[in-house]
Amino acid sequence: MTWAEIDWNVLDRLRGLFISGEAAKGAYWTSSADLANYDLTYGERIGWKWDAVLRELDQRGWRPPSAAAPARDGKFALLDWGCGSGIAGRRMIRWLGADHVAVLRLWDHSALAADFAEQSARKSFPGVAVEHLTPGFLAGDAPVGILVISHVLNELPAGELLALRGLASRAEAIVWVEPGTQEVSRALIELREQLRDRFRAVAPCTHQGACGLLAPDNARHWCHHFAPPQPGIFADSDWVKFGRRAGIDLRSLPYSFLAMERRRKAEPEDTAAGFARVIGEPRCYKGFAKVLSCEAGGVSERMLQKRDSPGLFKQFGRPEGALVCRWTLAGERIVGGELLSRLTPGGGI
């Protein structure tokens, strides 16, 4: 599918389903053309959020544990649940390297979606086995490998979410990306709490304790981040038209996410221990900035004066990746810091 072939009526119908909540009432894909139109637009935009998440996992130095590669030459097994057009599974394979993936399993309550995702994955990665998941697999206890979930929480009744949690508990690693809304982020936080006795948080958290956003003082906040807009998108008339018709602000790509891995006897070294993760975006003013800082001790607002660290102040205005920082504090104030991506000798700014 190319922009020349796009069917705007299909996209308008999908938009109606997504914003009205109708999408939660059952399978809504009516043809493979629906999925092709979605894949080029909504799906691609979700792909940019995945790119940001996977860059952060690189920044953290994380790779899925070898236990997530149970079969076939030590290669990874992936399960994309609620796959839609399959963008999340394909982004994960690209990130892991197709040579390192044995099998991509797909599940969606729409067979049209699973078929589309299967064909797209086969085309992009001919060396990877692609399978539809069977109800038998879902109901059984076979290992899941890496569970990939993207933009499904809004559409799940409580019973389905419970079943999905059961599936998650069979995974070795979970990478789950959702929209950056308060409601969905809060649901992800709840899932983290339910899973954290068996799974350690890889990202966005920098600690293994209870989520600091659960503190009553933080009830108005939620854990979300912003992916950078694609270069050139504002000058692209097709994307501009899509943004207008879909009512989407192309400058803003809010997302929430959770990456976890099963706890092991010998826990890996925590690369982010002692670091803070900035939630949302820094608010930069003339001469100072404020950030909502998630740390092992809790989530709190911190302030940086530009004169204390012009380099860090600049990073706040134009971050080059996820803001995972080890603060130098004077009392409650930030006076300097070290970014996780710059963990090289002399990397302090």
Which residue, 139 or 329, is less far from ligand SAM as judged by CB? Answer: 139
Crossing angle between the packed helical segments 158-168 and 182-195, to the nearest 10 degrees: 40
Stretch that binds ligand SAM, among 76-84, 126-134, 205-213, 251-259 (CB under 6 A): 76-84
CB of 129 to ligand SAM, least distance (A): 20
Residue from 10, 83, 121, 184 touching ligand SAM (CB under 6 A): that is: 83
Q: Shortest gap between Cβ of 203 and ligand SAM (angstroms)?
A: 18
Please name the helix (run of DSSP H) or strand (run of DSSP E) that holds residue 32, with its range, or none.
helix 32-38
Q: Which of 156, 214, 248, 303 binds ligand SAM (CB under 6 A)?
A: 156
Taking CB under 6 A as the rule, does residue 150 contact ligand SAM?
Answer: yes
- Longest CA span, the chain: 62
Q: In the complex, what is the shortest distance from the CB of residue 13 to ligand SAM, in angstroms, rounded to a whole number? A: 14
- Preceding omega of 282 cis (within 30 degrees of 0): no
**Amino acid identity, residue 153?**
L
Phi-psi region of 223 (alpha: psi -120 to 50; beta: other; left: phi over 0): beta
For the CB of residue 148, give the shortest distance to ligand SAM in the complex, in Å.
Answer: 8
Q: Which of 58, 160, 238, 308 binds ligand SAM (CB under 6 A)?
A: 160
DSSP class of residue 229 equals P
- Contacting ligand SAM within 31-50 (CB under 6 A): 43, 46
For ligand SAM, which stretch binds (CB under 6 A), given 154-162, 207-215, 258-266, 299-307?
154-162
Q: Which is nearer to ligand SAM, 42 or 275 (CB)?
A: 42
Q: Which is nearer to ligand SAM, 108 or 172 (CB)?
A: 108
Rounded to the nearest 5°, which phi and psi values hold at 135?
-55, -30
**Interface pick for ligand SAM out of 11, 40, 87, 211 (rule CB under 6 A):** 87
Instruction: List the one residue from 34, 40, 68, 84 that touches ligand SAM (CB under 6 A).
Output: 84
Tokens of 122: 């086969």
Residue 42 CB, shortest distance to ligand SAM, in Å, is 7
Tokens of 176: 């789950």
Q: How many positions of this chain bind ligand SAM (CB under 6 A)? A: 19
Let me know: does 166 contact 147? Beta carbons within 8 Å.
no
In whole angstroms, what is the distance from residue 262 CA to residue 200 CA? Answer: 6
- The CA-atom distances, in angstroms, between 237 and each of 42, 234, 241 are 16, 8, 6
Q: Is 51 in the site for ligand SAM (CB under 6 A)?
A: no
Name the CA dihedral angle for 57, 201, 269, 72, rounded to a multiple of 10 degrees: -70
Tokens of 338: 């070290």
As a whole number of angstroms, the distance between CA 111 and CA 119 comes to 12
How many separate helices (H) and strands (E) can be counted in the chain?
10, 13
**180 near ligand SAM, rule: CB under 6 A:** no
Kindly identify the residues of this chain, within the stretch 106-125, that bind ligand SAM according to CB under 6 A: 108-110, 113
Whether residue 117 contacts residue 85, with contact meaning beta carbons closer than 8 Å, is answered with yes
Answer for which of 7, 12, 22, 27 binds ligand SAM (CB under 6 A) is: 27
CB of 89 to ligand SAM, least distance (A): 8
Binding site for ligand SAM (CB under 6 A): 27, 43, 46, 82-85, 87-88, 108-110, 113, 150-152, 155-156, 160
